[in-house]
Structures are given as C-alpha cells and as structure tokens.
Structure 1
Amino acid sequence: MLSERTFEVSDYLLSALCHETQSPSSCILLLHGWLDNAASFTPLMEELRSQHPDIQLIALDLPGHGYSSHSRSGYYPFHDYIDSLHQVINQIKKELDCPLTLVGHSMGALVASCYSAAFPENVDHLVQIEGYGPIYESPQNSLDRLRKGVLSRQRVSKKPPRFFESFDEMVALRAKRYVLNANEITSLVERDSEQTEHGWRWRHDKKLKAESLYRMTEAQAKQVIDALPKSNLLILGDAGFTHLSSICPPTTQILHIKGGHHCHLTCPRSISEAIIALILFG
C-alpha cells in the first residue's frame, strides 16, 4: 500500500505517493507529465516495490497538479519546476544516504533532464519516458512565443470552470484522450478530480494550460543533453514519440516497448525491470 506525504517548499505544499522502507539501498523520485499526477506511476511503483522492495519510491505531484497546492503568484514557468524539485531533493538527501534515480515522464522527463544536467552531484541515474531533454525552438520564434504566451494567459483567466455530471464522464474523457481503457486511467483521474455542489471538476490549476512565454534554443538544449548523467535511459512506446531516438547521443540507452505516450501505465513490468537493471548495472 502506497502512503501519502507532503514536502513543504518555498511556494507550495507538494504532495507525493510513497513506498518507504528502512535503510533503503536506493531512492527513485518520479515526475509525471503535464496535467497528470503522481497516480500515473502507481502501476510502475507497484512493480518496482514487488521486484525490489528495499528501494524507496517517491512520486511527486508537481505544482498545480494532483493534491499539490496551486500557484499564489501567477503561472507555471518551466524553470520554476526545477527550483521546486531542487528543494524536494535537498530534503530527501537530508533524510536518506543512498543513490538517487530520477524518473520522468513527458514534461517530467524534461524537468528531470534539466535538473540532472544542472545538479549532477545529486543524480546518480536518469530515466526519461517519452521525453528527452528540454523542448527547444528557433530564436526567431522568440517574439511570437512571447506574444502567444501572454495572450493565452488572458484566455485561460477568462475561461469559466467546467463541471461534469459524473466521475465516470471524466474517466471516459481522459481515457479517450490518452487512448487507454478506463481501468488504466481511473487512479489518475481520482487524484485529479473533486466533487462540488455544482458537479465534478478537475482539481488541477487551469493556469497550467497557458502557453510558455519562453523556450530554449537548440544550442541551449544541447548543453543540457551533453551534460546528462552517463547512466541514463530513454524509454519509448512503439506508438509514442519514437522520433526522440534520433536526437540521442550514443551514451543514452534506449528501450522500445509496446504502447503509446503513457506506456508506463500499460507496460509497467518491462519498465520496472529496465529501471532496476540501470540502477544495479549502470
């Protein structure tokens, strides 16, 4: 049974799902994708716990997601996730004296890669699922990016809340979007929904849907990729972001598995075995 815990950082109370153990041999910190939450890792955590019970597991709800608090000051710049992650890792390092592995899915992979590059002393192994390094674009897009980002904030702020008649309606909507069945998506929706007097609604902060004001250039992203840990693994679903394998240097291990963008929900055993092999053998 996974337990709940909270990390207090400068701007947020961050919730997490955990499997805690005494004197762990290793710690795995898992970061979910955009508009997902810690429950997207529940099947993978169960497999990891079954295969290697002395590993400490922590799946974080990123700011504005799941049970974590929403921003009091505004929106969610990408680099602020890295700041929050650093504060969480500092707390973990004070509690545990063991190697740390970062596992990130999609947006979580982007955050994990940037953190690993900037703070290599804190990360022993890196696993990226359906994401690799930061998103980048041409500097020629800077002004257009800035304009679209600001205008998107205005649209999001004026958008009225959406309510649903039932929890099942929310599950069906998310399952269709992710091309998954209801059983595979239910725990994720449970952590991202709440019932009100007006009906069911999403728990995540609607401001998460505002577009970015800034993205790295290709040269900046290359610096991150060049600084990734030597022990790093990219996992891709055969119906997911397969193109990412073309941008990886030879130092990155690549595992292709059956599934789409949320392959960690559909093939947790294969991914668990690959993560444990990376930790044990590099």
Structure 2
Amino acid sequence: MKEVTFTLAEYNLAACSNVDITTVRLTSKPVLLLLHGWQDNAATFASLWPLLTKDYDVIALDWPGHGKSDYKSADNYYHFVDYIDDLHQVITQLKCEKVHIVGHSLGAIVAGCYAAVFPEYVDKIILIEGLSPLTEPPQMAVERLRMGIVSRQRYRQQQLRLKQRSMATFAEALTLRVAVNRLPASLLEAVVTRATIERDGRWYWRHDPRLRCDSLYRMAQQHAQALLSSIQAPVLSIIGDHGYSSLHNSDGRGWDINDFTQVVVSGGHHCHLQSSKGVYRHIRTFIPTRFD
C-alpha cells in the first residue's frame, strides 16, 4: 500500500492505496473504500490489506484530524455530517461507476448514511461494529448543546497543554493505546505508528485534540430511522462476539433496511483486527470479483 492524497475543497486527506487513484476507474477489480473509526486511522485495516489487495482495488482513508490528514481550520470542529461531505468529495474524484464501502465504527455509520443519501455511487456496504448514528430523545437537545459548548470552552483553555503533550518513546505511546483498547500491542502497532510523529526526540499524537469535543447535536431516533430505511445497497453487518452489545440486538428489520445480513466473528469492537482472516472471508463472499 502506498501513500496517496485527496485534495478536498477545504483540506487534504491522506490515504493508503494499492492503486493509482487517478486511474482506478480503468481497472477491472471492485473498488473498496475503507473508513476507520473515531481516533483510529487508515492503518486500523493494515492486517486486512495483504488479503484484500489480492482481489480488490483498495483505498483506506484518514478522516480529517486523524492519521496523516490535515486538521480542520482553527474556527471549525468535527461534525458527524461533515464526514459524509468529505466522503462524497473523495468518491466523486474517483470517477468509477460505483464503490463498495467498508466502514468500522464511526466509518460504518458514515457509510450507511452515505449509501442512503447517494445510492447512485454505492454498490454494497460492509459495516463493522457500527450501524445507526448516535441518537437521543429530543428533550436532550438543551443539555446536549450545553455539553458541546462547555467542551469547546474547556478545549480552548487547555489547547496549549494538549498540543505540547508528548511521550518519551514510541513504546510509551503504544502502551497507552493498548491500555485504552485492551488489545495486544501487535494488533495496534500499525495504528499507533500512523497516529504518532517524532520531533526532537519526543513522540506526539497526530490527531487533532478537538476530536474529543462533545457533539452539539444528536439525531432523534426518527431521523436515524429515516436514513437507514432509505439504504438501497445490500448491507453486510460484521460484529464481534464480544463487541458492542447493542449491535447484537439490531438487525435490518428493526431499521427497515431492505437487504441486510449480519454475521458474528471472534473479538470485540476491533474484531477486524482480532479476526482479520474471518472478516476477509466474509468480505470476499459478499463482494465477488469477475474471476469468481
């Protein structure tokens, strides 16, 4: 996989790909667009790359403020719906007829919403440990808005300290991430490598601290229902047997998704890291190639 860059209207997005993105439309392989989760990066799919690239043209994005992508401007924050705009700018640059989208967590939620809004660009979607946008009852609107504004003010007061926060070694950064995700270091090393940068003998996180600011708004259940029920593309949901319990109780019927299949693999919320071969086999079955 090589480093590539997508130039969007407001900033650049970094990505990894096994194909020249300017000629991807000329190839005969299905195009897989891989979307990572919150505070992860494109390397969360690194263990899948050698498997997927045998059969597909693969592009793995870094969302803005993540990995090697640009931060948003100083007067902006990270709204969920803006990720859908980012994705649309990427897909329309590819100029291929349709893409298959594989998303994990936040990336899965974005994938589902995008497929609902722009069905003409999407063939199939695979949602790993993610499905519906986060929802709240309408009566939470006041408290949610207050929480979001307060979190921004807290960031403004702490931004200098957050930007200066560093670690003595890469191993320290890796240990911190292992403690958060409760996964072996071997599964997280690629993610942490892409998530850190070394300057003057110290290691710094690349991601924008503003990512941790609370949302100003969350959808009501009816809004999420309207989006998911509009998905026309076939959906494959892959969940870990020790992943988010709410996903075990969610199926296509509950959201009125027309073509929905769910499979379970070993692992937790990052089951694509823990069971990469199993996830690959499900992807390979769901998205055949012309050689099958």
Tell me, yes or no, if structure 1 residue 266 matches structure 2 residue 257. no
Within 1, Cα distance between the matches of 2:113 and 2:208? 23
> What is the SS of the residue equivalent to 1:28?
strand
RMSD: 1.5
Partner of 1:199: 202
Question: How far apart, CA to CA, are the structure 1 residues paired with 2:260 and 2:157?
Answer: 43
Q: CA deviation at 1:280?
A: 2.3
- Matched with 1:61 is 62
CA distance in 2, matches of 1:259, 1:249: 22
155-164 vs 24-33, which deviates more?
155-164
Q: Report the counterpart of residue 116 of structure 2 in structure 1.
A: 117
1:40 aligns with 2:44: yes
Query: How far, CA to CA, are the matches of 1:134 and 1:23 in structure 2?
Result: 33
Question: 1:86 is aligned with what amino acid?
Answer: H
Number of corresponding residues:
274
Three-state SS of the structure 1 residue aligned to 2:40 is coil
Q: Which moved more, 1:259-268 or 1:191-200?
A: 191-200
Mapped partners of 1:156, 1:266: distance in 2: 34
Q: Residue 102 of structure 1 corresponds to which residue in structure 2?
A: 101
Q: Secondary structure at the match of 1:57?
A: strand
SS at match of 1:280: coil
Matches within 5 A, 1:131-150: 131-150=130-149
**1:277 and 2:285 equivalent?**
yes
Contact 1:236–1:242 at 8 Å: present in 2 too?
no
- Give matches, 1:224-243, under 5 Å: 224-243=227-246
- What is the rounded CA distance, in whole Å, between the counterparts of 2:167 and 2:28 in structure 1? 43
Query: 2:72 aligns to what SS in structure 1?
Result: coil
Q: 2 CA distance for matches of 1:85 and 1:150?
A: 26
- Report how far residue 133 of structure 1 moved: 2.1
**Aligned residues of 2:148 and 2:215 also touching (Cα < 8 A):** yes
TM-score (norm 1): 0.93
Aligned AA for 1:205? D
What amino acid is the match of 1:83?
A: D
Alignment of 1:180-199 (within 5 A): 180-197=183-200, 199=202
* CA-CA distance at 1:274 after TM superposition: 0.9
Q: What displacement does 1:175 show? A: 1.2
In structure 2, the gaps of 5 or more residues are 254-258
C-alpha offsets along residues 185-230 of structure 1, whole Å, 9 cap, x if unaligned?
0110011101223721100000001010011100000011111234
Which segment is superposed worse, 18-27 or 225-234?
18-27
- In 2, the alpha carbon distance for the partners of 1:178 and 1:133 equals 22
Conserved 8 A contact 1:163-1:198 = no
In the superposition, the TM-score normalised over structure 2's length comes to 0.90
Counting only pairs closer than 5 Å after superposition, residues 12-31 of structure 1 correspond to structure 2 as 12-20=11-19, 23-31=27-35
| Partner residue in 2 for 1:211 | 214
* Percentage identity across paired residues of the two chains: 40
Can you list the C-alpha shifts for 1:11-41, whole angstroms capped at 9, x where unaligned? 1100001011761321000100000000101
